[in-house]
Amino acid sequence: MVVKICATVSLLAFGAVFLFVAACGEAAPSSATGQTGIGNVNCSTDAGPATGLTKFGATIGAWNATHVRDAQYLSWGPLLPDGERTYPTVRCSTDGRVIVIQVHMNPPVAAATAVGLALAELPADVKMVYDVTQAQCRNLQYQSQALASEMGADNPDGIADIQLESPLPSAGLGLTFQPDSVETAHIDLLDAYSVKPTGC
């Protein structure tokens, strides 16, 4: 009888270990991995109804209905003094949601101004998750229920990552982040929720 009880306990213990190992092998949820399986493709140039979001997270139809596009290139917005447009890069998910925006600023602006310009591309309900400055860039992450609700499976956590970068330096010098001179704000949803990046 004692042997039988010990065998039962051993099996239960083994079963617990087995279940634990199996759980460790499961795929992590989207909040732990970031959104990497939704595609990253050229956006359509077709306009659609300007309903719902019209900036980051919008359908490309709504984006096109509210932004002027360069007739020759996939870039949007007014021309700046250096000849580039305000949005030189816009990328979409395979189902037509705007998931990457590059905001170009010329002349360069202070970091606080750049953050304000980037936040203007996001819904009003965003809340900061983190703000970290690295040697070559500054990274901020925000979360928005409006983004999560409208983007659905493309962005279930409602993430918006912002990376600020200074102008490229002269030849031979390494890129460094200068808070008083920001030229680019990249907005995307590639970083996992609350996981701070370790590179730029």
Asked if 66 and 146 count as a contact pair (C-beta separation under 8 A), the reply is: no
* 189 exposure class (CB count in 10 Å sphere: 0-12, 13-18, 19+): buried
Instruction: Report pLDDT for 37.
Output: 79
Average pLDDT, the chain: 83
Instruction: Report pLDDT for 170.
Output: 61
Higher per-residue confidence, 31 vs 21: 31
24-28, 35-39, 173-177: least confidently modelled range: 24-28
Q: Which amino acid is at 73?
A: Y
Higher per-residue confidence, 17 vs 44: 44
Higher per-residue confidence, 30 vs 185: 185
Query: Among 15-24, 142-151, 171-180, which range has the highest average pLDDT?
Result: 142-151
Asked if 109 and 99 count as a contact pair (C-beta separation under 8 A), the reply is: no
Asked if 175 and 166 count as a contact pair (C-beta separation under 8 A), the reply is: yes
> Average pLDDT in the 188-199 region?
94
DSSP state of 156: T
pLDDT digits (tens, 9 = 90+) for 72-85: 888 999 999 999 99
> Average pLDDT in the 37-66 region?
94
Beta strands in the chain (DSSP E): 41-42, 76-79, 85-87, 89-92, 98-109, 127-133, 138-143, 159-165, 182-188
Instruction: Report pLDDT for 73.
Output: 86
Q: How far apart, in whole angstroms, are the C-alpha atoms of residue 183 and residue 86?
A: 11
pLDDT digits (tens, 9 = 90+) for 88-146: 999 999 999 999 999 999 999 999 999 999 999 999 999 999 999 999 999 999 999 99
Q: How far apart, in whole angstroms, are the C-alpha atoms of residue 108 and residue 164?
A: 11
Instruction: Report pLDDT for 168.
Output: 82
Task: Give the whole-number percent of the chain exceeding pLDDT 70.
Answer: 80
The answer for residues whose C-beta is within 8 angstroms of residue 106's C-beta and 6 or more apart is: 80, 81, 82, 84, 183
Instruction: Report pLDDT for 175.
Output: 82
Residue 24 has pLDDT above 50, yes or no: no
Q: How far apart, in whole angstroms, are the C-alpha atoms of residue 13 and residue 199?
A: 42
Per-residue pLDDT band for 20 (boundaries 50, 70, 90) equals: very low
Per-residue pLDDT band for 171 (boundaries 50, 70, 90) equals: low
